[in-house]
Structure 1
Amino acid sequence: MADTKTSPRARVSKCDDDTPLTAEQKPLPEVVTERPYEDKSPAEWAYERLILYIQNFEEQLDNEHEVAMGFAGGEVGILRIEGIGYFDPDLVTFYGTDDEGTKTQLIQHVSQLNVMLRAEPREETSEPPNRIGFRLAADLGKHSGAEVDEG
């Protein structure tokens, strides 16, 4: 049976062919391709791809670093990512803590979405690194996108 799903276009150019694969170069997980991307809202589609970017970034970190997100537009610091969500049709939100440990949330319209991932030194080295991208990717398969997660 022929696959009738269309795949989104993705491309990356790199200066060094020996660098690790990027999110654009990897096949999309089945849970992401179950519904055509054309049937998803801009927020849902951005949310899914952000999870893939975060997971790919974390695959390249050592045990001394965790992923954080730097803010664009001034000296506003970073957000250590602890969660990500979306609200159809057009909002994406990041949950976490800033560099001083203060609870922080960024809510952004998909038309203005810019995310800079940073490798930040871990605060507590006795615990294994917090790999949010892998937990988020596992969570993609648990929700169809229609219901609200109460947890």
Structure 2
Amino acid sequence: MSDEEIKTTAEAVEAAAMPRRHEVHADPDVEPCAVPDSVAQTPVTQKSPAEWAYERLILYIQNFEQQLDNEHEVAMGFTGGDAGVLRIEGMGFFDPDIVTFYGTDSNGIKTQLVQHVSQLNVMLRALPRQVEEGAPTRIGFRLAQDLAKS
């Protein structure tokens, strides 16, 4: 046995509590975004389900946006109903178990989705930008900046 294989009980418990991420894509050039230190340093066991879901959603949104061209912005499709699509303009959580999304629907109506983490089922979609001038809105970047501060 090498030294790398030997772990104390404390090291094993700590490793089990740290977030892990694994993805495989058909396109070998697609690289999943790394888990930032601000997320990885706090063990999962010390986060509420809402905070943990919020942090991971930020990573997924940011990664999704990095794959978009300048003509598209991220939106969220609702599953299991006729609610449509929400252009994501904000996101938050309320401990211990609520995640909320802010934005506008396909008709431009201000919309907020409040969801329990046990019911969380999000489909990210690319929608054409609404504004013809300027750069597309990238909420994932702003969310990630906020995550790095906390």
Give your verdict on TM over 0.5. yes
1:12 matched to 2:23? The reply is yes
How far apart, in 1, do the equivalents of 2:27 and 2:128 lie? 27
* TM-score, normalisation: structure 1: 0.84
Worse-matched range after superposition: 28-37 or 102-111: 28-37
Match of 1:118 in 2: 125
Match of 2:31 in 1: 21
- Cα offset, 1:109, TM superposition: 0.5
Segments of 4+ moved more than 4 angstroms: none
Match of 1:32 in 2: 39
CA RMSD of aligned residues (A): 1.5
1:62 matched to 2:69? The reply is yes
Question: Please, which of 95, 98, 104 is the counterpart of residue 97 of structure 1?
Answer: 104
How far apart, in 2, do the equivalents of 1:82 and 1:121 lie? 14
Q: Structure 1 residues 34 and 126, CA, compared in 2 at 3 Å: closer, same or farther?
A: same
- Cα offset, 1:8, TM superposition: 2.3
The residue type paired with residue 72 of structure 1 is T
How far apart, in 1, do the equivalents of 2:30 and 2:136 lie? 20
Per-residue CA deviation, residues 110-138 of structure 1 (Å, 9 max, x unaligned), is: 01100000000001120210000011000
- Cα offset, 1:19, TM superposition: 4.5
Question: Please, which of 30, 52, 71 is the counterpart of residue 45 of structure 1?
Answer: 52
The residue type paired with residue 97 of structure 1 is T
The residue type paired with residue 30 of structure 2 is P
1:128 matched to 2:128? The reply is no
Q: Indicate the structure with greater helix content.
A: 2
Per-residue CA deviation, residues 12-67 of structure 1 (Å, 9 max, x unaligned), is: 343x2425123xxx431011123212100010000000000000000000000000
Per-residue CA deviation, residues 54-111 of structure 1 (Å, 9 max, x unaligned), is: 0000000000000000011122111000111001110000001111111000011101
DSSP 3-state at the match of 2:20: coil
* TM-score, normalisation: structure 2: 0.84
Match of 1:146 in 2: none
Q: Which has the greater radius of gyration? A: 2
**Percent identical across equivalent pairs?**
64
Match of 1:73 in 2: 80
Pairs aligned (count):
136
